[in-house]
Amino acid sequence: MKKIVLIIGTRPELIKIYPLINKMKQSGFNNYLIVNSGQHQEMLTPFFDFFSIKPDYNLDIMSPGQSLADSLAKAVSQLESLLITIRKEGHVPSVLMAQGDTTTVMATALVAFYNRVRFFHLEAGLRSDNLLHPFPEELNRRVASITADFHYAPTRQAIANLKSEKIPSEKIMMAGNTVVDAIELIRNSPQFNKVTFSDLRVQQAVDNGNKNVLITCHRRENHLHLQHIISAVEQIAAKAKNCMFIWPVHANPMVKDIVIASGLQNLTNMIICEPLNYLELLKVMSTCCKILTDSGGIQEEAPSFRVPVLVMRETTERPEAIEKGYAVLVGNDSTKMIDAFMNFNPVFPMDAENPFGDGKASDRIVDHIKMQL
């Protein structure tokens, strides 16, 4: 039987593919297989449990201290072997599908191309036009676009980027970003109003109202500048004593060890905590007055909660929130970060919509997938 093979490697990938799986289940469509590449194994496993999703296949492409080249090599090798296994078990992998711009995505695109299997790219067309920002994601998504047989673009800007690279219009769909679908599914669920945090400090901050500030930082290009970011956050927290700053620290030791060893721990309005699950993260976001982040996903999610974002990056492949005036680029420059925190106060219209999607992307994509098998 022909199958679409959904290949997932990181937490953001699962979050954005989850609405598709949910839609497939609801519609009785079961011609799909789910693969966990294991790129972010520790962070990803709880999310599979949270979304009640059980992968059909689990790979293991990561090992301690592994270089990007080693990760890519292992991912390509294991995905190649996976195709052989899938065929031996009587399935026909008609389409390989992956989301975004990670090593898992580029490996999927290459393996699909080498094996003459169609590759469908979810969240296609994002560009920063700088191969070093973000690194290595800009390269990953460009390779994915070169090989993709179909592109699910989240925005008009993404479509324009693809067309400028001579990709035919008939291979592109204006789908919207499925993260907006995920947010709508979650915050309309009974569980969203019943979120409890194992960290009682975070629970108290969420219960106390809407003066919270979320901080997340994990990108490679910020690793060498983390001390500048910490210094800026210390100064911001000193100026905004009426706010509670919540920093769920990324598991990467290059980030975690430095943040934990810093003076941030001594601030009375600072909470350094373990990574939050997605439900917890959205709940915190819903109580925030501002967010400081280098995350691509949070740039897309924050407009759904009408929260301004200070983007700690030199450039962004998600310009839509900036163009709307909901976000601002501050890089890792302490002066820019402090100035923006104090003075960037956009007003969201009452009828403000998320510029990245309307919550119906999964409907469009699944309808298209059904016609492809």
Window from 39-43, 135-139, 225-229, 281-285 with minimum mean pLDDT? 39-43
- Interval 131-154 mean pLDDT: 95
CATH class as words, domain 2-177+357-370 = alpha beta
Whether 250 sits among the annotated catalytic residues: the reply is: yes
pLDDT reported for residue 338: 97
DSSP secondary structure letter of residue 188: T
Per the listing, tokens 């983390």 go with 226
pLDDT-derived band at 170 (thresholds 50, 70, 90) equals very high
Whether 40 sits among the annotated catalytic residues: the reply is: no
Q: What is the pTM of this model?
A: 0.91
- Interval 323-333 mean pLDDT: 95
Say if residue 272's pLDDT is above 90: yes
pLDDT reported for residue 1: 86
pLDDT reported for residue 321: 97
Q: Tell me which of 118, 133, 187, 250 is the catalytic residue.
A: 250
Say if residue 141's pLDDT is above 80: yes
- Interval 206-232 mean pLDDT: 88
Say if residue 250's pLDDT is above 90: no
Whether 101 sits among the annotated catalytic residues: the reply is: yes
Whether 151 sits among the annotated catalytic residues: the reply is: no
Q: Tell me which of 11, 13, 101, 127 is the catalytic residue.
A: 101
Nearest to 187 by CA among 345, 10, 54, 359: 359
Whether 220 sits among the annotated catalytic residues: the reply is: yes
pLDDT reported for residue 168: 97
Say if residue 324's pLDDT is above 90: yes
Q: What is the mean pLDDT of the chain?
A: 94
Whether 121 sits among the annotated catalytic residues: the reply is: no
pLDDT reported for residue 373: 82
Q: Tell me which of 11, 13, 40, 123 is the catalytic residue.
A: 123
CATH number of 197-343: 3.40.50.2000
- Interval 304-319 mean pLDDT: 95
pLDDT reported for residue 289: 97
- For the chain, the first-to-last Cα distance in angstroms comes to 9
Which is more confident, 254 or 67?
67
pLDDT tens-digit map of 94-105: 999 999 999 999
Q: Helices (H) and strands (E) in the chain — how many of each?
A: 16, 13
Nearest to 212 by CA among 181, 239, 247, 179: 247
- Interval 241-260 mean pLDDT: 87
- Interval 149-157 mean pLDDT: 98
Window from 2-16, 254-268, 277-291, 327-341 with minimum mean pLDDT? 254-268
pLDDT reported for residue 119: 98
Which is more confident, 253 or 204?
204
Say if residue 223's pLDDT is above 80: no
pLDDT-derived band at 322 (thresholds 50, 70, 90) equals very high
Q: Tell me which of 91, 201, 220, 306 is the catalytic residue.
A: 220
Nearest to 290 by CA among 304, 302, 275, 274: 302
Say if residue 305's pLDDT is above 80: yes
User: In this prediction, what percent of the chain has a pLDDT beyond 90?
Assistant: 81
pLDDT-derived band at 45 (thresholds 50, 70, 90) equals confident
pLDDT reported for residue 238: 95
Q: Tell me which of 137, 181, 300, 314 is the catalytic residue.
A: 137
pLDDT-derived band at 222 (thresholds 50, 70, 90) equals confident
Q: Tell me which of 133, 218, 225, 228 is the catalytic residue.
A: 218
pLDDT reported for residue 148: 98
Say if residue 255's pLDDT is above 80: no
For the chain, where do the domains classified as CATH 3.40.50.2000 start and end? Answer: 2-177+357-370, 197-343
Per-residue burial over 87-102, b if 16 or more Cβ lie within 10 Å, else e, is: eeeebebebbbbbbbb
